[in-house]
Structure 1
Amino acid sequence: MHDDVIDIRLLEAFAAVMSAGSITGAAKLLGRSQPVVTRQIQDLEADVGYQLFSRNGPRIAPTAKGVLFHAEVERLLLGLKHVRERAAAIGAGALPVLSLAALAAGVVPGALAAIDGDLLPAHVHVQSLSAENVAQSVLSQSADFGLASLPIQHPGLDVHWVCEVPCVACLAADHPLAKKKAIRLKDLTGRRLLTMANPYRLRRRVEAALERAGVRPREMIETNASLAAIAMAKQSLGIAIIEPVLTAGLDMSGVVTRRLDAAIPFLFAAISPAGRELSPTVAALNQAVRAAVTLMPGARLHEGSAAFADAPDADQFERADR
């Protein structure tokens, strides 16, 4: 790749082709001619030094490198959009734009609603992202505030507090086990389990709890989102073991949540860019989210500490509380 900066118009053309799925569609989105967009994609490929799309006649599809590159371009273009909006807000003497990224999106709507209207800016960006992408968004300062599950540690992050809350079982309302007040892990033997795909976060603690209980589910369906697990549980595809933060703010018609007879901790942290003083709006949001999560059954709040942010499991918290 050349050392000079890539022309933003080339990146816009690339993002438009990825969104539209064709050069023709991208040209319509951008208000440019098809030959112009074609040339811009060719120029971008020459600039980065590899093919972004494979071509088969009129058909076009992103290459593996193109897919990875798109994630970076999307983040950059979103950041530039935020810069424009923030610049406009500063020029108008208005409140700055509020951007937040959250893994535990269930509590965010209620927290935003609890903020004094005078503190809420005209533009608010809420992104539901994986924990890794929440951290990257806050590190790059494209997000002012984030909620991300543990482990998470980086010198560029300030951890304001960590919440520990026990996971719950989510199942269809007409499931035979829905009549119980609590689900025993033993009850999961021989059943299909809906679980998280990431082996380094909640999934690891779920598997450890099942192993201690000597439980072997009949089948497993993996997903990267608790919301997808809830939707599958509603369709009677299995029993989901999920974090209760998302369910706290959702309409759960058709499904029920039940506590488990063994504590499987879900740990998440409130983070912001290191060394940057919280604006009145972000400070109010932080307090509102903090108040909301403490209302969840079994929730324990640990005050912010970078030492907690890399905890692989609940043991470190239990030692700290002694």
Structure 2
Amino acid sequence: MQPDYLDTRQLEAFIAVMSIGSMTGAAKALGKSQPVITRLIQELEQELGFSILHRNGPRIAPTEQGVAFFAQAELFLGGLRTISQRARQIEKAQARPIEIAAIPALAASIVPLALCDLPQEQFPHHVHLHSAASENVVQAVVARTADVGVASLPLDNPGIDVHWIGEVPCVAVVADDDPLAHNDMLRASDLQGRRLIASANPYRLRMRIDKAMKEHAIEPCGVIDSNATYVSLSLARKGLGVAIVESTTIAGLPIDGLKVLPLEFHIPFYWGVITAIGVPLPTTVQMLIAAIERRAFDLPQFRKHVNLPSSY
């Protein structure tokens, strides 16, 4: 009896088509003919039992199910590449690579600083830093395609070990020619009638931003949802609104053309450093986790929690 596994060639063809946008482009990237790519996609759809691509002549677009499947297929193939790389490292008796998954805010700030702290003689030959949403960071750690993850709260998965939880206050960011740029602090009344730029995920930081807006009876004139802090900074730089962001990204990205204002009211941002439960950690990974903690203490008003804060 044949095992009910999907063909990795089909998955590779699908990911290439999704990434490039055409059968022809995917064929060139994979060194195959266009009919071969078409056949692999058709066979994959037969295996799955649903369509993953809309076809309109030469134009293609993913179906809703195709978009959902793409995230899982990409995670799976990423894991296979990791396994392959580690096998080659074992064969050559080389130091194993470090796989890091982190949310964009910390992938662009704390993690690079922590990597700088690793001794050169123990620095891995290969480091893969993958920036992803918290949900995908947790998935990568649980699937063991990432050695260590840095994700925002909530973190409630039986497959992960939360080493510690960090907290920093959120700040406001406006364009340097905004009238608020002359202030030394942003007060709740300053947001009244202004457009707000904030995290889009309603179950993480946005939940605490919305709570603060309600507690202080703030009614913005509109909201721009953003899926990453650096996007919020770009929107604020163009004068499109007042961005409420976690302060970690400020440590890693240029803020030219922007004014950062502390908030009169407190909106905490929480994140955790995680690994897969029950998995022995190589020395280099332990050193990286310790370096992340040291660098976190350089952040203004950083607080370390062993457990989830009661105020969360």
The question of a shared fold, defined as TM-score above 0.5 by the shorter chain, is answered with: yes
Q: What corresponds to 1:181 in structure 2?
A: 184
Counterpart of 2:183, as a letter, is K
Q: Is the 8 A contact 1:161 1:301 kept in 2?
A: yes
Q: Is the 8 A contact 1:150 1:269 kept in 2?
A: yes
Q: CA deviation at 1:277?
A: 2.3
Post-superposition CA distance 1:214-241 (Å, at most 9, x none): 2111111111111110110111111111
Listed as ranges, the matches of 1:78-157 within 5 Å are: 78-103=78-103, 104-105=106-107, 106-157=109-160
Q: CA deviation at 1:111?
A: 0.9
Count of matched residue pairs: 308
Counterpart of 1:171, as a letter, is V
Q: CA deviation at 1:20?
A: 2.1
Q: Is the 8 A contact 1:194 1:233 kept in 2?
A: yes
For the pair 1:34 / 2:34, whether they are aligned, the reply is yes
Q: CA deviation at 1:256?
A: 2.0
Paired residue for 2:171, among 168, 178, 183?
168
Paired residue for 2:311, among 306, 312, 315?
315
Q: Is the 8 A contact 1:119 1:280 kept in 2?
A: no
Q: What corresponds to 1:319 in structure 2?
A: none
Q: What corresponds to 2:14 in structure 1?
A: 14
Paired residue for 2:282, among 272, 279, 284?
279
CA distance in 1, matches of 2:212, 2:23: 50
CA distance in 2, matches of 1:19, 1:240: 30
Task: Name structure 2 gaps, 5 residues minimum.
Answer: none
Q: What corresponds to 2:232 in structure 1?
A: 229
Paired residue for 2:198, among 190, 195, 198?
195
CA distance in 1, matches of 2:63, 2:221: 37
Post-superposition CA distance 1:168-220 (Å, at most 9, x none): 11111222211222111211111111011111111111111122212111111
Q: CA deviation at 1:3?
A: 5.0
Q: What corresponds to 2:222 in structure 1?
A: 219
CA distance in 2, matches of 1:58, 1:165: 50
Counterpart of 2:247, as a letter, is P
CA distance in 2, matches of 1:34, 1:300: 55
For the aligned residue pairs, the C-alpha RMSD in angstroms reads: 1.4
CA distance in 2, matches of 1:175, 1:59: 44
CA distance in 2, matches of 1:89, 1:201: 38
Give the TM-score taking structure 2 as reference length: 0.95
